[in-house]
Amino acid sequence: MKKYMKLILIITFVIALTANTSPVDAQDKLQKNPGGYHGEMDFPISWKRYYNYAEWTDIMHKLQKQYSHLADIESIGKSRMGRDQFLLTITAKSTGDHSEKSAMWVDGAIHGNEVNGIMCSLYLAWYLLTRYDYDQYVHDMVNNHTFYILPGLNVDANESFVAYPNTPHNPREPYRPEDNDGDGLYDEDQTEDVDGDGELSIMYMEDPMGEYKLSHDKRRFVPVDDPGETVLRFRRIGSEGFDNDGDGRINEDDIGGPDPNRNFPYGWNLQAGWPYPMSEPECRNVYEFQRTHSNIFASFHYHNTGRLIMFQAPPPDRSVNMNAEQRRQYRERIDNQRAELQKTNKYAQLYDRIVSEDYQMDMDVQTAIVTGGARILKNYRPVIGGLSGQAHAGTYYMLGVYSYLMELWGSPAFEADQDGDGRVTDEEYVIWCDTELTGEGWIDPHIIDHPDLGKIWIGGTRKKHTQRTPPARYIEMETLKNAQFVMYCVSEFPKVEIDEVKVTPATDDLYWIDVSVKNDRIYPTSSDRAVQLKIAVKDKIVFGSSGNISQLEITDGKSQIDPGNFHSTALSAGSKETEFRLKSKDKQWIRYLVKMDGSSGWVEFSVESKYGGKASKRINLSVSN
């Protein structure tokens, strides 16, 4: 009479060998006091000014030199005018090669004038490196993940914007020559600093029929409000510059070609992204790097301005047809649901985009991530990003990488709007410049002799770094919280773990072994988009055992562990390697049937995920009567 029904099974959990959490070097400098020193003076740098190309690339080189165990520097290619596009690769070299760890891509200032992005991405690099020894959170993150940081993408225009007089809006594009005015000449009529004050403002001409007059404080040009008014009147000429080509127009063919953020391959179209996808070396170098580094899991792109988190959402489900009324009702329902959610969490987000079942998880993941972002960044608004050749469209739609476009800063509109009407008038700006910027930042109207126009007036506008890009004193205000949002995203990168192992005697010397693997993070081990593109790499569990234990062949597929419980389905593993996919905050049971000869032995389960890392667990089995 066999007594297997009475067998007592002793299971010993021996090893929990998870690759992701083993501090390699002792952290002597670990700082647990929030009021204590966190390493910022180990590499002193001012975050209260803008740097030109020579300066910020020099900072990159020096950072790499000082933290060479954590950082590498390389040029991913050259711009049209031959400047190197330098990239910092940050990860603890002692814990493995950068290419083996799931990675975050961060770039800034694809639009030449949006140099706030250079500061933000540079700050992130500095924050990670200086805090590595002091901050447990940063320490673990730099051990387990890779950051690819390209502070300035559009380096030619970046340099021009910082180092030369410019309006807040130019130069934006890479320097491909373009004939904007159709006269057959290329980039022949650019902006110039006519009065030599280092700023580009607006030119006005005295004109008895003009629409403008000086304001009472003589600091602004304001519309004439009474036709009979007898005041000195002005006509607006436009932004400061000369008529270089003598065609009677000024600044009508400024430097630069296509919008670089319409030059990426997904949703590219000729009119916006001329002349062809990836025509600009600055963009192509970035995309080629991303394409050939498949460990990149998410991607950040810094822009100015508007305080937006633009995230790349999955495509709308085209099979859903709603008429206008249905759509209105649907939106209303979503608005109500969001309002309900925001009663308990004012940062909660919910979107009215209907996506197919294949993409629902990506939609949910992005909603959850930007909810976290809204909390960290406070006054930033998460919105769905566009689909016509933007960098983030390319990364998500063509590479399956979660992507975000950050519109940094928000002009001082939030601060300067005195009367709370949601608009900032010139008058309010003057007050803002005088108060917050203590007099810095406003160009008063002044007279100058113009070689093409004669006597003109210039002024009545703000200076360069008071609009799209924040004044120097506010730079760090943006950089810190944006670095925190990037790190928050990385902290939610997938991580596979072996959760539980259950052993159930089946019959005689056969045992069911049920293993659960989980990913507690918001991000899944592969995006829905990667699955749709058929480039997703599945997670995998490998069975190993002592010689006396053998795995029995059972049909691969789904089975139910507990017949009474619907939710207890498991993958039946009939072979050594079983593939699965862990979604966002997901758990998966895998069921094995094993045969053990003798009274003791061990089984080992190793999990491997392209982005979720590795984990393994060994179980000792011993049988006694």
Partner 1 sequence: MKQFKPVYGLYFLIAVFLIFGAAPSSIAQKVPISFEEYHGYDGTVKYLKSVSSAYKNITELLEIGKSTNGRTIYVLVITNMAKGTTIDRHVNLRNNRRENVQNVTPMKKYHGKPGHWIDGGTHGNEYTGTEVCLYSIDKLVSGYGNDPELTRLIDDNVFYICPIVNPDGVYNSVERGLSQRQNSMDVDDDKDGRINEDGPDDLNGDGHITQFRYKNPEGRYVLDEDDPRVMIRLGRDEETDKERYSVIREDKDNDNDGKRGEDSERGIDLNRNYPEGWFNDENEKSGSGYYATSAPETRTIVEFFTNNTNIYMVQSFHTSGGFTFRPFARWPDSKIDAKDLAIYDKVMGKKYLELLGEEIPAAWLGEGSNAPGQERAIPARMRRTSQSGPQQTNRQVARRTGQSSTQPRGWRHPYNDQRGRPYGYGIFMDWAFAQFGAYSMSTELWNQAKDLEGIPDVTGENARNEVAKAVLKYQDDHYNGELFIPWQKYTHPELGEGEIGGWIPQYRGNAWPGEPLRKVCDLHWNFELFKAGLLPKVEITEANAEVLYNSSSASEATATVDGDNVNIKKGRSTGDYKIVEVTATIENNGKLQTHVAGGERLAGNRQDAVWLIGDRDKITYLSGTPFMKLGVLDGTMEIPGISRQTEATQVRQPRRRMRMPMGMPVYMMRMFQQQRGNDLNQVTRKGNKAEVKWLIAVEDNTPIKVVVTSQKGGTQVKELSYSNSGRR
Nearest to 102 by CA among 374, 297, 236, 261: 297
Phi-psi region of 241 (alpha: psi -120 to 50; beta: other; left: phi over 0): left
Contact 306, 407 (CB under 8 A): yes
| 50 in contact with partner 1 (CB under 8 A) | no
Minimum distance, C-beta of residue 410 to partner 1, in the bound complex (Å): 19
| 313 in contact with partner 1 (CB under 8 A) | no
Instruction: Look at residue 485 and give its three-state secondary structure.
Output: helix
Nearest to 18 by CA among 489, 492, 495, 490: 495
Nearest to 367 by CA among 346, 384, 388: 384
Kindly identify the residues of this chain, within the stretch 346-405, that bind partner 1 according to CB under 8 A: 397-398
Cβ distance to partner 1 smaller for residue 82 or 564 = 82
Kindly identify the residues of this chain, within the stretch 569-608, that bind partner 1 according to CB under 8 A: none
> Exposed, middle or buried: residue 385 (CB in 10 Å: 0-12, 13-18, 19+)?
buried
Kindly identify the residues of this chain, within the stretch 62-121, that bind partner 1 according to CB under 8 A: 80-81
Q: Length of the chain in residues, anyone?
A: 625
| 242 in contact with partner 1 (CB under 8 A) | yes
| 277 in contact with partner 1 (CB under 8 A) | yes
| 223 in contact with partner 1 (CB under 8 A) | yes
Minimum distance, C-beta of residue 353 to partner 1, in the bound complex (Å): 16
| 425 in contact with partner 1 (CB under 8 A) | yes
Kindly identify the residues of this chain, within the stretch 163-202, that bind partner 1 according to CB under 8 A: 164, 175-179, 181-188, 190-193
Cβ distance to partner 1 smaller for residue 316 or 574 = 316
| 244 in contact with partner 1 (CB under 8 A) | yes
Number of residues forming the site for partner 1 (CB under 8 A): 63
Contact 90, 74 (CB under 8 A): no
Sole window of 90-98, 273-281, 335-343, 597-605 interacting with partner 1 (rule: CB under 8 A): 273-281
Sole window of 96-104, 269-277, 344-352, 358-366 interacting with partner 1 (rule: CB under 8 A): 269-277
Residue among 211, 332, 508, 579 that touches partner 1 (CB under 8 A): 211
Q: DSSP letter at 253?
A: B
Q: How far is CA 516 from CA 499, 595, 603, in A?
A: 5, 20, 14
Kindly identify the residues of this chain, within the stretch 245-264, that bind partner 1 according to CB under 8 A: 245-249, 255
Q: Could you tell me how far CA 203 lies from the centroid of its own chain?
A: 38
Sole window of 1-9, 136-144, 272-280, 540-548 interacting with partner 1 (rule: CB under 8 A): 272-280
Contact 581, 551 (CB under 8 A): no
Residue among 271, 379, 438, 624 that touches partner 1 (CB under 8 A): 271
Rg, the chain, Cα only: 30
Contact 262, 272 (CB under 8 A): yes
Determine if the peptide bond prior to 275 is cis (ω within 30°): yes
Binding site for partner 1 (CB under 8 A): 80-81, 156, 160, 164, 175-179, 181-188, 190-193, 208, 211-212, 221-225, 227, 236, 238, 242, 244-249, 255, 265-271, 274-279, 287, 291, 315, 397-398, 425-426, 451-452
